Amino acid sequence: MENPIVKPVGTDVLQLDTPAVVLDLDDLDFNIQNMASFFNDRNKPKLRPYVSVHRSPAIAHKQMSAGGTVGGICVSTLDQAEVFADSGINDILLVNFVITKRKIDRLIALSKRICISVVVETIDNLNSLSDAFSSNGVSIDVFMLINSGGEFGCLPDERSIDLAQAIDSASSVNFKGIVGFYEGFSSYFPIDDFEEHKKNVCKIVEVKTKIEQKGIEIAEFCIGSTFDYEWAASINGVTQILAGSYALMDSNLARLESKFVPAARVLGTVTGTPEKNIVITDSGQKSIGADVGVAIVSDWQGLTLSSLSAEHGTVLVEDSCIKYPKIKDKIWVVPWDIGGCLNSHDYINGVRGGKLEVVWEIAARGNYR
């Protein structure tokens, strides 16, 4: 696993071994305070930070301390839930399906330690959970996951109403409410689909109304992400916004959302200047990630990251570039998808005023199961 090559506190950021993932702590604090104040100023909805973007307990605790939250977080895998539970967070929503017996056993074990809730999309899965929790004499909070244009979840049609009724009457299962799946929107869709996104979300609101008309209470209605939290917060009945990317940001979100700053970047070193208009850096796919788009060179006019091999980046230099990069120069890149980038790193360097302040473990990195 990653060797953090820990440097003394106070080390100049440009003296870190590269490639390094660097988090500007002032920018992080700005983003967290900015989002917290939006939610602190209102009764409802509240924020439930989606921490699977950064997977770092230290950052999650900062998000929780800033206020405006429901008092809990959400995660994408059972592994992540276990790590964050061990970090002292007692209210976790797992936005994923727990299907196999082995994982249901782990969910039961975790439910004895903290308040864990989970989503379901099928009656079959609901019945598996209900049977297993009943046999163990415990219960679980369950949300139904409704698909608002993402890859998975129950479609917002009659099946959703059947599922709601099934959850409502299942034993050892507490029907908590609805989670609208939106993840695909903020990560992958172009900005001009926002109207389409709104329409999709409205379909979920309609289904919620139909379920309530059957006499079933929807205590919690969770929807919205960093990109659409303001709009989502204006929807009647929404109680929780599951935003997380706002804390670190990335090139993709910065393109769509201007109220937060890219706090996390990858620092690289120029290792080659093979020909005119091309420089090579030591930061490639393994350290930046390239699963969605190509990262953007920041703080240096006239440079464009054009491609990434496993270990190296190729940067194009415009003729108009005033300061031509030399060997050993440092290059900052804002990853397109910070979640994908951090998936490769076990540690993140926290700096303030250009000096190293802390090295945080990305404790839930690699926790896919």
Query: Of 34-73, which residues contact its own copies (CB under 8 A)?
Result: 52
Rounded CA-CA distance 304/344 in Å is 22
How many residues at the interface with its own copies, by CB under 8 A?
72
Per-residue mark of binding to its own copies, 204-243 (x: CB under 8 A): ----------------------------------------
Query: How do strand 115-120 and strand 140-147 relate by DSSP bridges?
Result: parallel
**343 touches its own copies (CB under 8 A):** yes
Q: How far is the CB of 199 from its own copies (least distance, A)?
A: 19
**81 vs 238, which CB is nearer to its own copies?**
81
Rounded least distance, CB 44 to its own copies, Å: 29
157 binds its own copies (CB under 8 A): no
Within residues 91-120, the interface with its own copies by CB under 8 A covers 96-97, 99-100, 102-103
Q: Which region, judged by CB under 8 A, interacts with its own copies, from 42-50, 61-69, 236-244, 270-278? A: 270-278
Of the pair 15, 135, the CB lying nearest its own copies is at: 15
- Considering the complex, state which of residue 151 and residue 319 has its C-beta at the smaller distance from its own copies: 151
How many angstroms separate the CA atoms of 265 and 254, rounded?
Answer: 13
Exposure string for 127-154, b = 16+ CB within 10 A, e = fewer = ebbbebbeebeebbbbbbbbbbbbeebb
Q: Is 34 helix (H, G, I), strand (E, B) or coil?
A: helix
User: Counting beta carbons within 10 angstroms of the beta carbon of residue 326, is it exposed (0 to 12), middle (13 to 18) or buried (19 or more)?
Assistant: exposed
149, 175, 282, 336: which one binds its own copies (CB under 8 A):
282
d(CA 51, CA 12): 28
Report 115-134 residues binding its own copies (CB under 8 A).
121-122, 124-125
Kindly state the smallest distance separating residue 62's Cβ from its own copies, in Å.
Answer: 21
- For its own copies, the binding residue among 30, 114, 115, 184 (CB under 8 A) is 184
Rounded to the nearest 5°, which phi and psi values hold at 170? -75, 150
Least distance in angstroms from the C-beta of 51 to its own copies: 13
- Tell me phi and psi for residue 15, to 5 degrees: -95, 0
**What's the rounded Cα separation, in Å, for the pair 224 and 183?**
9
Residue 39 CB contacts under 8 Å (≥ 6 apart), including other chains = 45, 46, 47, 67, 68, 69, 241
Figure out which of the listed residues 61, 198, 210, 286 binds its own copies, where binding follows CB under 8 A: 286
Q: How far is the CB of 55 from its own copies (least distance, A)?
A: 10
| Binding flag, residue 195, its own copies (CB under 8 A) | no
Crossing angle of the two packed helices 123-135 and 158-169, in degrees rounded to 10: 10
